Amino acid sequence: MRLVLKNIARLLMIEDEPKAKVAGSDMQRVNSLEDAWLVIEDGKIACFGEGEVIPFRDDEVVDCKRGMVMPAFCDSHTHLVYAGSREKEYEDKIRGLSYEEIAKRGGGILNSAALLSETSEAQLFEHSLPRTHEIIRSGTGAVEIKSGYGLNTRDELKMLRVIKRLDEETQLTIKATFLGAHALPREFKSNPDGYVNLVINEMIPAVAEEELAAYIDVFCDRGFFTVDQTGRILEAGKKFGLVPKIHANELDYSGGIQVGVRHGALSVDHLEFVGEDELAVLKNSNTMPTILPGASLFLGLSYAPVRTMIDAGLPVALASDYNPGSSPSGNMELIMSLGIMQLKMLPFEVLNAVTLNGACAMGIEKTHGTITPGKVASLIITRPMPSFGFMPYAYGTSLIDKVIINGKIQ
């Protein structure tokens, strides 16, 4: 059966063919159609056009009531599979401890790892499923989810199996990333290379054996993993077909961007610390710089210098980083608002960053991220708004009326 969307005030991000990432001044450009309609067939975008549409007798018709239609969000960086929550730690932060100090005291990622090890796979699935429903309601159609709260082979595999099950049992398009090197477990405190060896020799082969991940991540930053350790882990992952997508330069000029690019990373993420050298390295690469402004907001850290990056001709993706420690929200409308308010991005730059460039950062730009015939019909229908810029501007107010994922109204 066909689904016909009529009465669309503006259809945004239209392209006749799938297109690669958008960079630099092109990020200000979005192709759109006024007074439009769109037809969905078998979960895919079939066609769209201008003016009146005359539906077939069996078509299901959705009246968009002069709202806009855009691609669903492609959130390319989350940790939304986790056990428990860490609001108590946030109180320590309010009292003056930093993220790194909390981590050093055994809080932070290690706290989530302890909670996760006591949680069964079935319970972890039950805890994580509502988060996927929540992000679907808030407009996300495709999402990347990382492991990294296991920190031993059994629990890393447990997380990745849960991610696989979420992919099978929800409408979301999900890409899984193995992040064994997220933090150093307590028992390896005086033997960090011992843990790196465990990741390389035991975890990576086990993850690959069960085909549980497409990507491999390392938290390459001050107090976490070094450039050298990161390089070794990425190299080992690549031998098993895992493509790098790493955490870098959140806490310092860590060298993470350079090591990520050197290993052909699909994306390098966070990037609060970016200087001339980092810009030059990114400029000569195919790596997608991915910015997570929710973490800067929640932790009170500086924001990534996105204006400088785009003005230097780079592409940028924005993602939520949904996780219990540094950004406990998967709300991409809020991320869009942070884009205009804190990162000084223009509304269309933000739109490209949360759709097409997010899709590129997950390697799914051929099927997601623009409104193109043949692509997956994962779309947002907005409430009527005077211009697209109203959506990020009206921060805290959801402008989403309906969400369609894989051609199904949610």
* Residues lying near Fe ion in the complex (CB under 5 A): 321
Q: Which option in ligand NIG, Fe ion, none does residue 80 bind, with CB closer than 5 to 8 A by kind?
A: none
Task: Retrieve residue 105's tokens.
Answer: 């005291």
| Least spacing, CB of residue 381 vs ligand NIG, in Å | 31
| Count of residues interacting with ligand NIG (CB under 6 A) | 13
324 near ligand NIG, rule: CB under 6 A: yes
Q: Which option in ligand NIG, Fe ion, none does residue 108 bind, with CB closer than 5 to 8 A by kind?
A: ligand NIG
* Closest residue to bound Fe ion by CB: 321
Dist CA 66 CA 9 (whole Å): 4
Q: Nearer to ligand NIG by C-beta: 258 or 290?
A: 290
**Residue 308 corresponds to which amino acid?**
T
| Least spacing, CB of residue 403 vs ligand NIG, in Å | 25
330 near ligand NIG, rule: CB under 6 A: no
112 near ligand NIG, rule: CB under 6 A: yes
321 near ligand NIG, rule: CB under 6 A: yes
DSSP secondary structure string for all residues of 361-384: HTT-TTTSSSB-TTSB--EEEEPP
Judge contact between 318 and 358, C-beta under 8 A.
yes
Q: Tell me the CA distances in angstroms from 184 to 102, 151, 224, 237, one per residue in order.
A: 14, 8, 7, 18
Q: Which stretch binds ligand NIG (CB under 6 A): 12-20, 107-115, 194-202, 329-337?
A: 107-115
323 near ligand NIG, rule: CB under 6 A: yes
β-pairing verdict for 408-409 and 267-270: unpaired
DSSP secondary structure string for all residues of 6-36: EEEEEEESB-SS------GGGGG---EEEEE
Residue entry with tokens 């310092």: 252
| Site mask for ligand NIG (CB under 6 A), range 40-79, x = bound | ---------------------------------------x
Q: Which stretch binds ligand NIG (CB under 6 A): 255-263, 271-279, 318-326, 347-355?
A: 318-326
Q: Which stretch binds ligand NIG (CB under 6 A): 25-33, 319-327, 335-343, 391-399?
A: 319-327
Judge contact between 325 and 89, C-beta under 8 A.
yes
Which ranges of 268-355 does DSSP label H, i.e. alpha helix? 276-283, 293-299, 306-311, 332-341, 347-354
Q: Nearer to Fe ion by C-beta: 292 or 404?
A: 292
* Closest residue to bound ligand NIG by CB: 325
Secondary structure of residue 77 in the 3-state scheme? strand
Task: Retrieve residue 345's tokens.
Answer: 């991005």
Q: Give the residues lining the site for ligand NIG (CB under 6 A).
A: 79, 108-109, 112, 219, 247, 250, 295, 321, 323-326
